Amino acid sequence: MLDFDTAQEHLAQAATAPTRKETCSLEEAQGRVLATALSAQVDLPPADNSAMDGYAIRLADYEAGTTLPIQQRCFAGEPPEPLKPGHTIRLFTGSLMPEGADTVVMQEDTTETDNAIVINTPPVAGAHVRKKGEDVEKEQELLQPGTVLGPAQIGLLASQGIHQVEVWARLKVGILTTGDELVSPGQALGPAQLYNSNGAMLAALVAKLGATVVHQLHATDTHESIESAFKTLLQDCDLVLTVGGVSVGEKDLVKPTIELLGGKLDLWKVAMKPGKPVALAQAQGTPIVCLPGNPVSAFVVCALLVSPLIRAMQGRTETRPRVMYGRLRSNRQFNETREEFLRVQTKSNNNGELSLVPYELQGSAIISSLPWASGLARIPANTVVKDEDIVRYYAFADWLV
């Protein structure tokens, strides 16, 4: 069996780099992946300005008890006059620094009477002055290609007057579920049938990762139905995810159908629990990942093995999010031959240390554990792990975005 890290690497290496670029407005840029580097258009701030409501002075004019006449009251957005010797100019947060001034005195440190001030606290040279370009200098690189644009990045670009960005086109993903026993939610459930939870779940996972679900198809267990679905998916999608149907049973028809369409399927057994059976194929230039049919297994494999592939195909620089560590809290001892990924909730103590509390039932059929969990605790194979041991933790907040 392939170990987990090798399987993750194999899938990531199957990614094809994006080639389609498009331009979008900042209003549409949330979650998009930047396709070209961006540099600063202007200094930020563009000129020295006041960081406080206060008074601009020339520090050399300060003496304890000295009265400084107020020469001008200058609001943000107004040009200040050059500061006269022995005077002060009333400023507000964001007001430009007057020529000749070098320090701002907070209004709380002054007493104003008859349009003049007395400074009550000795000022410090250069205090409360935002210097030109201290945040960003003109022509400085702002963001690199492969950056996922979020509110912080969009705010930075807006501060530079950038209103459009070149991004990679959204990755188009197709999902295929198979099985005569499955019916769509909302339909009548017949004898020996189950509702198809995998289709909607995987579509939500893909959307959460910032890709577009072009098709969510279900095929019955016939060559004709599966072949028809694949023809649509391979024509319209950059990546295809299938669930179930890749074993060697009489109705496991996904593998022979892929081969019929010119693809070659590499079926792995990954040393992880849940999620042992995973397959990777290429057909007509499109990568196909075949996930295990159990919903919990499909969820875990998609979150940990497929998400790096999707991020790479989106053109992201960072394809594998951070892995954290936490202290396991369980009355059970673990020692499996496969790495086990426990559905856990996190709690933190006063020191900020994460505690990982497993769901009581860890069977791969326990789908109710997924909305309960905040992430997955990784239990190493062939290792005795017990209460209070420190293990790796994959937070859904990091791995499903």
Tell me the pLDDT tens digit for each residue of 42-53: 999 999 999 999
Query: Using CA atoms, how far apart are residues 100 and 104, in angstroms rounded to an integer?
Result: 12
The candidate with the shortest Cα–Cα distance to 357, out of 309, 396, 391, 384, is 391
pLDDT score of 361 more than 70: yes
pLDDT digits (tens, 9 = 90+) for 62-119: 999 999 999 999 999 999 999 999 999 999 999 999 999 999 999 999 999 999 999 9
Query: Using CA atoms, how far apart are residues 271 and 328, in angstroms rounded to an integer?
Result: 21
> Which residue is listed with tokens 């905040």?
374
Contacts of 74 (CB under 8 A, 6+ apart): 80, 81, 89, 90, 91, 92, 95, 96, 98
Mean pLDDT of 248-270: 83
- Asked if 395 and 325 count as a contact pair (C-beta separation under 8 A), the reply is no
How much is the pLDDT for 349?
A: 76
How much is the pLDDT for 231?
A: 96
Least confident range from 36-40, 197-201, 243-247: namely 243-247
How much is the pLDDT for 268?
A: 86
Strands of 258-307 (E only): list them.
Answer: 264-269, 272-273, 277-283, 286-291
Query: Using CA atoms, how far apart are residues 363 and 346, in angstroms rounded to an integer?
Result: 20
Going along the chain from its start, the domains and CATH numbers come out as 4-19+170-313 (3.40.980.10), 33-43+136-168 (3.90.105.10), 49-130 (2.170.190.11), 324-399 (2.40.340.10)
Q: Residue 341: phi, psi to the nearest 5?
A: -110, 105
Average pLDDT, the chain: 95
Mean pLDDT of 18-41: 98
pLDDT score of 250 more than 80: no
> Over pLDDT 70: what percentage of the chain?
99
Contacts of 155 (CB under 8 A, 6+ apart): none
Three-class DSSP category at 311: helix
Contacts of 307 (CB under 8 A, 6+ apart): 205, 209, 399, 400
Residue 180: which region, alpha, beta or left (left: phi > 0; alpha: psi -120 to 50)?
Answer: alpha
Query: Using CA atoms, how far apart are residues 54 and 91, in angstroms rounded to an integer?
Result: 5
pLDDT digits (tens, 9 = 90+) for 225-235: 999 999 999 99
Query: Using CA atoms, how far apart are residues 12 and 300, in angstroms rounded to an integer?
Result: 16
Residue 248's pLDDT band (cuts 50, 70, 90): low
Residue 391's pLDDT band (cuts 50, 70, 90): very high
How much is the pLDDT for 266?
A: 85
Q: Residue 371: phi, psi to the nearest 5?
A: -70, -20
How much is the pLDDT for 170?
A: 98
H/E element holding 347?
strand 339-348
Q: What DSSP designation does 26 have?
A: G
**How far lies 364's CA from each of 197, 328, 331, 394, in Å?**
14, 20, 20, 18
How much is the pLDDT for 267?
A: 80
> Over pLDDT 90: what percentage of the chain?
90
Residue 124's pLDDT band (cuts 50, 70, 90): very high
Query: Using CA atoms, how far apart are residues 251 and 90, in angstroms rounded to an integer?
Result: 82
The token duo for 17 is 């780099």
Given the DSSP bridges, would you call strands 390-395 and 324-328 parallel, antiparallel or unpaired?
antiparallel
The candidate with the shortest Cα–Cα distance to 359, out of 383, 381, 384, 377, is 377
> Which residue is listed with tokens 């397959």?
279
- Asked if 54 and 70 count as a contact pair (C-beta separation under 8 A), the reply is no
